[in-house]
Structure 1
Amino acid sequence: MTTITTGRSYIVTGAGSGIGLATAQLLRERGATVIGVDLKGAEVQGDLSTAEGRVAAAEAALELTGGSVDAVIACAGISAPIPLTASVNFFGVTQFLDHLAPALAKSASPRAAVVSSMASLQANSPEQVAAMLAGDEALAVEIGTALAAQGPQAGYLNYSSSKRALSRWVRRESIAPRYAGAGIPLNAVAPGTVISAMTEKLLSTPEGRAMVDANVPMPLNGHSEAMVIARLLVWLTSEENTHTTGQIIYADGGADATLRGDDIWA
């Protein structure tokens, strides 16, 4: 069944490419008004790597929606092994959403969803995760800078740590007064390997595909298109979703089940 979004207004970050672009396109096809936010190729040119940029982008997007919004979908993110990744992937999502939460709460059916990753289950820096969850961006960047200085492998922890922290933030904040208390379901979708400009080079060689598949095995239908993730994000932020909240939904072709097995409750 197709989820109808006619008449609803959405703000989508990362709307210039990848999952964000697919999500914005799908929403428009289903009748929604969409304001995209990205560095380029969207209605709002916004830089989510700084506190000032996040507020400015949120305000500009809200102005274009007329001051009210029914749903926010935060897709913007990068995967570089540098501390900027922590700023964009965690603070660029959480601070942006928190700034829009009061406007969201005025909607009759407010919803919010973010894009996490299978990387949230991978090795990470507990210190950097703790800094992000404490809202200390300066410390998170300092830790990320030290990781990046050790080389790409350690630098990659900026990415996995940002996604672990984001997933934990969703669990924590989904039941808080700002979200659940205001009737706002808040969830995350955690993709496996998505075919995109970000993964194209890595997937272009047998060696690259083998490395990817060893870390993210996807027995169901293999690597996914961005639209697969978009469809789930659209349902989570539709009027149909009234009680699903605080969930990290692994849209990963079975990678989570493969890697963690059948008993995740032990």
Structure 2
Amino acid sequence: MARFTGKSIIVTGAGSGIGRAAATLFAAEGGQVIAADKKGAEATAAAIRDAGGTAHGVDMDAGNEEDVVRTIALACDKFGGLDVMFANAGISGGMANIFDTDVSLITEVLRVNLIGPFLAIKHAAPRIAERGQGAIILTASVAGIRSGAGSPAYSASKAGVINLAQVSAQQLSGSNVRVNAICPGLTETGMTQSVFDYAREAGKIDRVGRLNPLRRGAAPEELARVALFLASEDASYVNGQAIAVDGGLSSSHPVTKQEYGRTSA
């Protein structure tokens, strides 16, 4: 397929995981890609170019407005405009509970995970609208759907991303700019690599993702393919949605119950 031939595309968090997989797939389908991340972006872009694709790497902090504006301007300068923005960059914020979460931690998680997508929409949407149509995809999480899949800071930030996709889709009415979110379950990325590495070393990889009906974690490409679908004309009537890509986890969210002051199995 070549669904993105001639399209100008920005992918944040492109240095690893879902972002790197998406940047690679966008380029393989003809896209002209700006791979943006705090580290590893140029390595992703170089790999794309080595494979015959078009890509440029840029250092970027997704929660910094100047960086977002600069990256969008770069895409418009190099590729003549902007068609797709995949605001994928995010951080985990650890696994502390509410009472052990420092204000500085939740502030940083919200800055990257929620303000980052807000900035992406604010500055990318007008440039995409200039092209007549296009798409913005945000990376949320199953942790943003309901409790049981992440820390309070991370979960709150991703719930905000889901709502942001809905609100921005409405506020972009008439622009032909669609906004949707993907909600990954447990996926092997830079953020979760230690979990997968430990499981492999301990001979327990079969236990990773065991709470979802598919009984496994996801590969980054499985999430990236859904992002590409939402960015493409195949999803031309999909707007304001949060799509769970989690092996069925969010159909139930089975978790260990917690009570104030103690944990029960």
TM (norm. structure 2) is: 0.77
Give the secondary-structure state (helix, strand or coil) at the position aligned to 1:175.
helix
- The residue aligned with 2:13 is 14
**Whole-Å Cα distance in 1 between the matches of residues 159 and 208 of structure 2?**
19
- The residue aligned with 2:140 is 116
- The residue aligned with 2:228 is 234
Q: Give me the identity figure in percent.
A: 31
Amino acid at match of 1:47: D
Q: How does 1:1-266 map to 2 (within 5 A)?
A: 2=1, 4-42=3-41, 43-66=57-80, 68-81=81-94, 82=105, 83-123=107-147, 156-176=151-171, 179-203=172-196, 204-205=198-199, 213=209, 217-220=211-214, 222-259=216-253
Decide whether the 8 Å contact of 2:137 with 2:230 is kept in 1: yes
Using the TM superposition, give the Cα deviation of residue 207 of structure 1 relative to its aligned residue in structure 2, in angstroms. 11
**Whole-Å Cα distance in 2 between the matches of residues 232 and 255 of structure 1?**
17
Using the TM superposition, give the Cα deviation of residue 212 of structure 1 relative to its aligned residue in structure 2, in angstroms. 6.5
Give the secondary-structure state (helix, strand or coil) at the position aligned to 2:162.
helix
Using the TM superposition, give the Cα deviation of residue 63 of structure 1 relative to its aligned residue in structure 2, in angstroms. 2.6
Decide whether the 8 Å contact of 1:113 with 1:236 is kept in 2: yes
Decide whether the 8 Å contact of 2:208 with 2:216 is kept in 1: no
**Whole-Å Cα distance in 1 between the matches of residues 195 and 30 of structure 2?**
35
**Whole-Å Cα distance in 2 between the matches of residues 187 and 80 of structure 1?**
24
- What CA deviation, in whole Å up to 9, does each residue of 1:50-106 have, x standing for no partner? 33333233333333323x111111111111242311101111111122111111002
Decide whether the 8 Å contact of 2:8 with 2:75 is kept in 1: no
Give the secondary-structure state (helix, strand or coil) at the position aligned to 2:115.
helix
Give the secondary-structure state (helix, strand or coil) at the position aligned to 2:136.
strand
Using the TM superposition, give the Cα deviation of residue 210 of structure 1 relative to its aligned residue in structure 2, in angstroms. 9.3
**Whole-Å Cα distance in 2 between the matches of residues 69 and 210 of structure 1?**
42
RMSD of aligned C-alpha atoms? 2.4
Give the secondary-structure state (helix, strand or coil) at the position aligned to 2:221.
helix
Decide whether the 8 Å contact of 1:35 with 1:65 is kept in 2: no
**Whole-Å Cα distance in 1 between the matches of residues 117 and 214 of structure 2?**
29
Amino acid at match of 1:246: G
Tell me how many residue pairs correspond in the alignment. 224
Using the TM superposition, give the Cα deviation of residue 44 of structure 1 relative to its aligned residue in structure 2, in angstroms. 1.6
> Structure 2, unaligned stretches of length 5 or more?
42-56, 95-104, 255-265
Which structure has more strand as a fraction of its residues?
A: 2
> Structure 1, unaligned stretches of length 5 or more?
125-154, 261-266
Using the TM superposition, give the Cα deviation of residue 11 of structure 1 relative to its aligned residue in structure 2, in angstroms. 1.0
